[in-house]
Amino acid sequence: MQLSWNGRYIWAGVMLASLGCQATISGGDDVGRGQSDGAGVAGSSTTGEPGNVGTSPLFEPLGGPDPIVCDPSKSRTGGRRIWRLTRQQYDNSTAALLGDSTARAKAFNPEPGSEQGFQNDAFSLRVRAAEASQFQAAARALASQTVAGDLGNITACAAQSLNDASCQTEFVGALGKRLFRRPLLDAEQQRYAELFAMGQLKRDALLGAEAVIEAMLQSPHFLYRFELGKDPVAGVVELTSWELASLLSYTFLGGPPDAELSSLAEAGALDVPATLEAQARRMLQTSAARPAAYELYRQLFELTQLPDIPKDEAVFPDFDGKRADLASSAQAFVQSVLFDEAGSSLQSLLTSKLSFVNQNLAPLFGVSGAGAVLAPVVLEEPARAGILTHPALMSVLGARTRTSPVNRGRFVREKLLCHIVPDPPEGTDTQVPPLAPALSARQQLDAKTGGEPCATCHARMNPIGFGFEKLDGVGRYRTEENGQAIDDSGSLTLTRDIDGAFQGANELATKLASSAQVHECLAVQGFRYVLGRPERGADACSIVAVRDRWVGANLDLKELLVALAGSEAYRLRSED
Amino acid sequence: MHNLLSRRNALRGAGAASIMAAFARQLKHAGAAPDAGAKRLIVFWTPNGVVQDRFWPTGGVQDFTLGPALEALKPHRDSLTIVKGVTYSGTGDHKTGQPFSTSGFVADNAGVSIDQEIAAGVGQQSLVLCGQAKNENRRGFISFDKSGAWVTPIRSPQSAYESVFGPIGAGGGAPPPAGRDAELSNKILDAAIADIKDVEKRLPASELVKMEDHLAAILELKKKVGPGGPTTVSCDGVDGNVFAGEPDYPTRVKLHMDLIAACIACDARRIFSYMLAPAGGDGTGFGFLGVSGGDYHNDIAHGSPGDPAKEDMMHKVDLWHAEQLAYLISALKSIPEGAGTAFDNTVILWTSECTHGNHGHQNIPIVLAGNAGGTLKTGQFLSAGVKYENLLISLAHAVGHPLATFGLGGTGPASELLV
């Protein structure tokens, strides 16, 4: 099994490059491949054996040209696990539970993220020396800040009678339930009561409370979400109601369970798919759902790179001054499609002409008369189409001084069609020289990548990327480059259902929005993000069920999240 | 006016090594001196290869002359082994070369990296640093734990300092409250430890590594619980304020190396993974060296083979990298230890993920500095024949972790390297 995994990886990463692109780009031909024999195994490592390590070994990419097929005999859910909070989840948790508004976790070590581009990857989120010292410093500051405020917010008696033994017990229990997102076990209640008592002995009850807050904030029960489940039945466990409350709230609110989820968990009433879905729909009506749902799209569309993507000041003046507004504009657009438009449709996400523009961004969008605040504007330029042509995305996918048809094509292949694009083969000079006079970027790139070993793969990327050429390296509309009219004709190949020529980004986006391959791919991407792990062949049935429900719901993007919450992969885990 | 400003000014004006020496002399071991046998490994990692024909020595195994790129290392010539002819597996690019350079595998997450392997083997923690952070496309990672997971490097010198020594003054956290003493600080961490042990009992085998990592990290924090307050490690002469703030790139690199020296002087860490910058186009610029272009790899290094103007610029960067290594060596040579210095018990591996600016996996630039307590041969130029995984195994042997195999093809230590 270890060898077979390693072989797959090499197959994906290395041999493909030398054998050409054909095999990689096919993808999705082997849903049952490796069917779950490696589920959840890592264990102790032996040096020199690649073994079941890393984020990738259990990654068996699904989606691509051939539809995913469910074979129930090979279906298996993911393993039991614990899942560390991301920095954003940490901040949302301390805000909700302790009223902290400093967003201190922003300065913590960043999440490594998964190969598939999602930062909430459960495998790679760890606590090592650096993280532990950051959590410790934050816990000290938060504890000190909390005891300086009104402890009555945690439990009423604490405002007046923290010296009473009964109130201390109540305080420890209430704080524990809040921070651990479930009631304390007896042993835990006793452990933290002893700590409280020691603090009181050293000085007073307030020091006891401070010590307990500091300790609980460093406990794995606060720092991780638990998915260990109830007693197994035939090798499968159902998550407990408390575990599901956390899973739901961090998925849909980005933070800890709210009052309704907590009371349902208290009653043990969450372990029913219909209830999970009803709660998902309820939370999608709240304001906290807006940023939480956006996070999937921010990461999928690689907008996490927006603060750092290098841009040449001479070519794109004052780009640094526009990064923050660009991020807000992309967020406003995605949220308006998801939450403010009837139908919340994928169609609209990919093809809407609506943009959110202010004075600062007006030059990028080519509009005049914009005010200081981001406001919706309908753009009529033929090259504009939804999120795909948003200047934030065009900037992230652009090079420092110009566009990058290769990267734009790579993005569509990987993120919307679920293909795997291998790296260039050994020794390839991937530099495109400065634009020669009288050559368009398209002509130059064709000349550069037209021969082997480049052409096989680039024939799958460049013709898609060329469709965006009327948008420059930061997404400004243009009709000529180097004195020549821009040709933004393109073509799609090796897809399930949208092969053929197209003209410009708008037509490309319309084709993508209509493609069953794209619909399936977005179900896969949603799965990766919501479950915090790459998919395996054994997930095929869950993904097929989500895909079919979502397609049946007219591609309503909120319903994609609801379908994921209702899936078996969401609430069941395999025992080992 | 505290130390930081005066020291920064001094760094600009004076020879770096002499300043470092003055700094290091202030360092004294906190308690007992390190074990007689304490050995250190530092992985010193620079991206994008080198200008090949200015890097390699000329001459024979013993009677070699350093190449022009290693000008700064001339004073340390006899402490070096320069290894030419190393070939990496993989497709000759950044993506496969980077994991291979530390783990001997051509994919991320495929196996443990040498720093983590040795750290676990000798009961230590590896301090993982980088001069620039880049997470988006996985180029920011060269350290992998035993489960193959990325170990996120620390970029901020202050965070790195605090992860080893605890908060800088009161600025890193709230001041300790009245009544707070070491016993209470310990009890707080003990609660987390007890919770971790509860969790371990309930986890499937595949998840245990998370709690093992976490427990090791908390035990590390417990070492910092001193009698005077919750989180200070006593190591005389290390002024945490020096590491505060957000310095520019070259200053940050110096501070990282100062921190490595401080860790060694105080025996707070013995194993280090230091990536000076990630490979590929990450926007790192070397304007401070007079190298044009905002993105060193894409603007300069990539096009350098065969382009004399770009080669000249890349050479400046190679020279600077060698200067940084020389600074680190000098720093360690200025820390007294036993009858000699801390450098006597150290080996530094300078490596990269590629041959030159336009990739390639032949003739990877490799320099070993230090003999790790007399276990490694030095003062030699090996022009061919060392298998890279076996080189990594040799380093493990040298610092007290006698590995049998490592990576894709490691079979045992290289006789050319070990004494």
Q: How confident is the model at residue B164 (pLDDT cuts 50, 70, 90)?
A: confident
CB contact under 8 A, B204 and A202: no
Give the CA diameter of chain B.
Answer: 68
Q: Where are the domains of chain B?
A: 39-166+233-398, 176-232
CB pairs under 8 A between A and B: 289
| pTM of the full structure | 0.83
Tens of pLDDT, residue by residue over B59-107, are 999 999 999 999 999 999 999 999 999 999 877 778 888 999 999 998 8
Q: How confident is the model at residue B165 (pLDDT cuts 50, 70, 90)?
A: confident
Residue whose pair of structure tokens reads 């496969």 in the numeric block: B96
* Model pLDDT, residue B4: 27
Q: In A, which residues are within 8 Å of B223 by CB distance?
A: none
Q: Are A112 and A253 in contact (CB under 8 A)?
A: no
* Model pLDDT, residue B2: 30
Q: Which of helix, strand or coil describes residue B205?
A: helix
User: Could you give phi then psi for residue A486, rounded to 5 degrees?
Assistant: -80, 135
Nearest by CB: A140 against B90, B125, B173: B173
CA gap A326, A318 in Å, rounded: 12
What pairing do the DSSP bridges indicate for beta strands B346-351 and B366-369?
antiparallel
Q: Are A413 and A461 in contact (CB under 8 A)?
A: yes
Q: Report chain B's terminal Cα–Cα distance, integer Å.
A: 49
* Model pLDDT, residue A312: 87
CB contact under 8 A, A431 and B188: no
Q: What is the mean pLDDT of residues A84-108?
A: 95
Q: Report chain A's terminal Cα–Cα distance, integer Å.
A: 17
Nearest by CB: B231 against A44, A136, A191: A136
| Residue from A220, A110, A238, A227 nearest A532 by CA | A227
pLDDT at residue B280 is higher than 90: no
Amino acid identity, position A33 = R
**C-alpha to C-alpha distances, A397 to A423, A465, A538, B40, nearest whole angstrom:** 16, 10, 33, 42
Q: Residue B68: exposed, middle, or buried by beta-carbon count in 10 A (0-12, 13-18, 19+)?
A: middle
pLDDT at residue A33 is higher than 70: no
Which residue spans within B69-226 are E strands per DSSP? 80-83, 126-130
Residue A502 pairs in a beta bridge with: A490
A391 to chain B nearest CA, in Å? 19
pLDDT at residue A105 is higher than 60: yes
* Model pLDDT, residue A453: 76
Q: Are B261 and B43 in contact (CB under 8 A)?
A: no
DSSP state of A500: E
Could you tell me the two tokens for B74? 């001339």
Could you tell me the two tokens for A558? 């909120």
CB contact under 8 A, A54 and B167: no
ipTM exceeding the 0.85 mark: yes
Residue whose pair of structure tokens reads 């270890």 in the numeric block: A2
List, as own/partner pairs, every contact residues A98-103 make where C-beta atoms lie below 8 angstroms and the sequence separation is at least 24, other chains included.
A98/A142, A98/A145, A98/A146, A98/A213, A99/A146, A99/A149, A99/A153, A100/A142, A100/A145
CA gap A207, A199 in Å, rounded: 5
- Which residues are CB-neighbours of A91 under 8 A, at least 6 positions away? A100, A103, A104, A105, A106
* Model pLDDT, residue B175: 63
Q: What is the mean pLDDT of residues B373-377?
A: 96
Tens of pLDDT, residue by residue over B286-299, are 888 988 766 677 77
Q: Which of A52, A53, A207, A311 to mutate to test the interface with B (most CBs of B within 10 A)?
A: A53
pLDDT at residue B26 is higher than 50: no
What part of B 38-57 touches A (C-beta under 8 Å)?
none
What part of B 333-362 touches A (C-beta under 8 Å)?
358-361
CATH superfamily of B39-166+233-398: Alkaline Phosphatase, subunit A (3.40.720.10)
- Which residues are CB-neighbours of A349 under 8 A, at least 6 positions away? A334, A337, A338, A386, A387, A557
Could you tell me the two tokens for A49? 């054996």
* Cis before B365 (ω within 30): no
* Model pLDDT, residue A20: 39
CA gap A263, A245 in Å, rounded: 9
Q: In B, which residues are within 8 Å of A187 by CB distance?
A: 198
